[in-house]
Amino acid sequence: MRPLGLGRAVVRGRSMEPTLLDGDHLLVRWGGRPRPGLLVVVQWPGLPMSVKRVGHRDDDGWWVERDNPNEGTDSWSAGPLTTHQVLGVVLRAGRFGDSRGGFHHG
């Protein structure tokens, strides 16, 4: 079952560099509606949840991509995703630990 509402996630890995860095915190609208160009949290069978950029949707499903061509998995290697595998839309991304000790945009 898909979670609903607002929540957070933490980026692990380098597949979305330079847009997102390992350790960045994400504000996610679980169950949000994906659109081309948006960042989304997805789940392929047998793999951990990950963050990808929506490319397009066709009859086979949602095609998502990584920003770093040298790291990670995307639809070109793992295939398109069903609507149920796109878990949420990223509303905001940032990291903790700047000189002000707060949250800042990445």
Give me the tens of pLDDT residue by residue for the chain, a chain 106 residues long. 456 799 999 999 999 999 999 999 999 999 999 999 999 999 999 999 999 999 999 999 999 999 999 999 999 999 999 999 999 999 999 986 544 334 433 3
Tokens for 16? 């979305």
Half-sphere exposure for 23 (CA within 13 Å, toward CB): 6
What is the chain's alpha carbon radius of gyration, rounded to the nearest angstrom?
13
pTM of model > 0.95: no
* 38 close to 53: Cβ distance less than 8 angstroms: yes
Strands 104-105 and 86-95: antiparallel
Q: For 68, what's the count of Cα atoms within 13 Å in the CB-facing half-sphere? A: 15
